[in-house]
Amino acid sequence: MKIAIVCYPTFGGSGVVATELGLELARRGHEIHFITYSQPVRLALLSTNVHYHEVNVPEYPLFHFQPYELALSSKLVDMVKLYKIELLHVHYAIPHAYAGYMAKQMLKDEGINLPMITTLHGTDITLVGNHPFYKTAVTFSINKSDFVTSVSESLKADTLKLFKIKNEIQVIPNFIELDKHEVEAVTSCRRSVMADENERIITHISNFRKVKRIPDVIQIFYKIQQQIPAKLMMVGDGPEKEKAEYLCQELGILDKVIFFGNSNEIDKILSYTDLFLLPSETESFGLAALEAMAWSVPVISSNSGGLPEVNFDGVSGYLSDKGNVDEMAENALKILKDTATLNKFKENALAVAKQFDIENILPLYEELYHKAIYKF
């Protein structure tokens, strides 16, 4: 199949899912066209069956806001015609589903039918899309999609609660490529750079937005390191990062915390990690937690949104009410207290991650694409 994928090219989860999906589809022989404003971060090397088309938005002084949707829909129409693309899969409703709908209409005028699948990822529904300034257009573009998928049951429920949706929403959970973890194993990155032999390594990875409750991450770690030797790896960048650095300084733990910023070495860091923290306000799925679990890392998370669908309480880690940092720290210490317990949780985390193996999830997308293109 010839498929166009529209996504955000950044470190965010939706872009990661879209890119990994496209790369795997390409490996399986499909022709994939990524259409976005810069090369997706996980698309390091273009390979067989993978194309990348950049959407350019020329600066013009008249525009207070540059019209990205206009440029994206034009690019989509041009690329669909040039490469005879059969299907459009947009990740994150805003503004991709809206631009996709416009492209569909333009192509219809020329007698071309372009089926569109919209995958809802989370903040496009729970935080941004729900804003009264966007809601009408977001509802419209979801309803005009030929098929809609959501990355968790929880996000599906939120979408149906917050929007008047007329079409079916199919839940297709996010996935992980487990083979990669076996093949790459531990690489040249040295554990000694991060922590001493006797210290546990705790990691948090996110875009450092308010929704991630970064101060909770620091407070949980603060309590952990009072009981056992430990270091905290803070990976990612965003508006809450500076505040987090000051909080560490205030608590006197700055020397025990490494702020990496955005990193392409996530796998290496996770391969040495003992425990992952994700105390988010809300999380439609929590891809970062799954990525950790695929490296046999247990997870301490909140129980918000789709997190209970990924992190199983008492099995792959523990879940607590958001903001309950005392309980989260206690649970963390329960896992870390002795090597036998930690190893059991590590084993369980990997076993749960295996349920989300790309091998199990990708056929669900392929089946949907087939239905969208060939109508059966």
**Please, what's the b/e burial string for 295-324 (b: 16 or more CB within 10 A of its CB; e: otherwise)?**
bbbbbbbbebbbbbbbbbeeebbbbbebeb
Q: How many residues touch ligand GMT (CB under 6 A)? A: 20
Give the max Cα distance, the chain. 68
Is 283 near ligand GMT (CB under 6 A)? Answer: yes
The helix or strand, by DSSP H or E, that contains position 35, with its residue range, turns out to be strand 31-36
Minimal distance, residue 96 CB to ligand GMT, in Å? 11
Is 270 near ligand GMT (CB under 6 A)? Answer: no
Is 122 near ligand GMT (CB under 6 A)? Answer: yes
Minimal distance, residue 102 CB to ligand GMT, in Å? 22
User: In the numeric block, which tokens belong to residue 90?
Assistant: 């947009």
**Please, what's the b/e burial string for 198-234 (b: 16 or more CB within 10 A of its CB; e: otherwise)?**
ebbbbbbbbbbbebbbbbbbbbbbbbbbeeeebbbbb
Minimal distance, residue 100 CB to ligand GMT, in Å? 16
CA dihedral 38, 42, 48, 52 (to 10 degrees): -10
Is 14 near ligand GMT (CB under 6 A)? Answer: yes
Can you spell out the DSSP letters for 253-277?
Answer: -GGGEEEEES-S-HHHHHHT-SEEE
Selection from 156, 39, 138 nearest residue 95 by Cα: 138
Please report, as residue ranges, which positions from 84 to 113 form the binding site for ligand GMT (by CB under 6 A): 92
Closer by beta carbon to ligand GMT, 229 or else 261: 261
Selection from 60, 55, 86, 87 nearest residue 70 by Cα: 55
Is 284 near ligand GMT (CB under 6 A)? Answer: yes
Residue from 9, 13, 115, 317 binding ligand GMT (CB under 6 A): 13
Minimal distance, residue 119 CB to ligand GMT, in Å? 8
Chain center to CA of 175: 10
Minimal distance, residue 17 CB to ligand GMT, in Å? 5
> Which string of x and - marks every residue 171-190 that binds ligand GMT (by CB under 6 A)?
---x----------------
Closer by beta carbon to ligand GMT, 74 or else 262: 262
Is 302 near ligand GMT (CB under 6 A)? Answer: no
Pairing of strands 169-171, 200-205: unpaired
Please report, as residue ranges, which positions from 30 to 59 form the binding site for ligand GMT (by CB under 6 A): none
Residue from 101, 272, 276, 285 binding ligand GMT (CB under 6 A): 285
Residues contributing to the site for ligand GMT (CB under 6 A): 12-15, 17, 92, 121-123, 151, 174, 207, 209, 211, 282-287
